[in-house]
Chain A
Amino acid sequence: AQKVTQAQTEISVVEKEDVTLDCVYETRDTTYYLFWYKQPPSGELVFLIRRNSFDEQNEISGRYSWNFQKSTSSFNFTITASQVVDSAVYFCATAGDSWGKLQFGAGTQVVVTP
């Protein structure tokens, strides 16, 4: 069984500050996948990234970056120079079987104020 823990319920920052969202996962699978999704107030999930368990390289995409550390079972997400449009709920998720069933964390609400 998979489990994802997002300990931060809400993070409030002022625009241009950096914000890091924590994600800790548990799995017994050797092969698994990790995801981050953004859910703005509209409700529609926006896919941000997918990582497989064999690829521990960190990734940067514009203002977004991800730090995958297998040793600590963490897959943290950083938004650099935050903007008001970054205000949303961010979910970390994992999938371990070939069916692709996603196990979501509780989500972290990010509030960016001008």
Chain B
Amino acid sequence: GAVVSQHPSWVICKSGTSVKIECRSLDFQATTMFWYRQFPKQSLMLMATSNEGSKATYEQGVEKDKFLINHASLTLSTLTVTSAHPEDSSFYICSARDQTGWYEQYFGPGTRLTVT
């Protein structure tokens, strides 16, 4: 089956620094990738939709200057949390949509970010 990887799986950073999270589709091409955030014991909230070769579309309330998304190729999207603060600590999950069918969406294993 289709596999999506995320790197790193966990990261600890200091307040004020930036962190980059990678999302890769390993065996298929993904024109669209989605980024979700999940706080402890809460649901997944969509942050943004990432389209290859174009600007990401952010959900209401998500700061695009803080959460930079780049989808430079059909297999890689990156999320950079800039000037991270403790309240950005969360579980970040990406998903990739197989370009052959819109509803086939595969999730990565997630990245746990802790900002100290």
- On whether the beta carbons of B46 and A43 are closer than 8 Å, the reply is no
Q: Are the C-beta atoms of B109 and A100 separated by less than 8 Å?
A: no
Q: In the complex where A99-B49, A104-B43 touch, is A43 in contact with B109 (Cβ < 8 A)?
A: yes
- A104–B42 CA distance with the chains assembled, in angstroms: 10
User: Quick check: A44 and B49 within 8 Å, CB to CB?
Assistant: no
Q: Do residues A44 and B43 form an inter-chain contact, with CB atoms below 8 A?
A: no
Query: Does B67 reach chain A (CB closer than 8 Å)?
Result: no
Which range contains the number of B residues in contact with the other chain?
Answer: 20 to 34
Identify the closest chain A residue to B91 (Cβ): A43
Q: How far is the CA of A100 from the CA of B50 in the complex (A)?
A: 12
Q: Which of chain B's residues have a CB closer than 8 A to the CB of A50?
A: 103
Chain B residues with CB under 8 Å of chain A are 32, 34, 42-46, 49, 91, 93, 95, 97, 102-103, 105-110, 112
CA distance in complex: A104, B52 (Å)? 24
For the complex of A and B, the 7 pairs showing the least CB-CB separation, nearest first, are A45-B107, A44-B109, A104-B43, A43-B110, A104-B44, A100-B102, A106-B43
Chain A interface size band reads: 20 to 34
Other contacts beyond A100-B34, A104-B45, A106-B43: 18, CB < 8 A: A37-B107, A42-B109, A43-B109, A43-B112, A47-B106, A50-B103, A91-B43, A99-B32, A99-B49, A100-B97, A100-B103, A100-B105, A101-B34, A101-B46, A101-B49, A102-B34, A102-B105, A104-B44
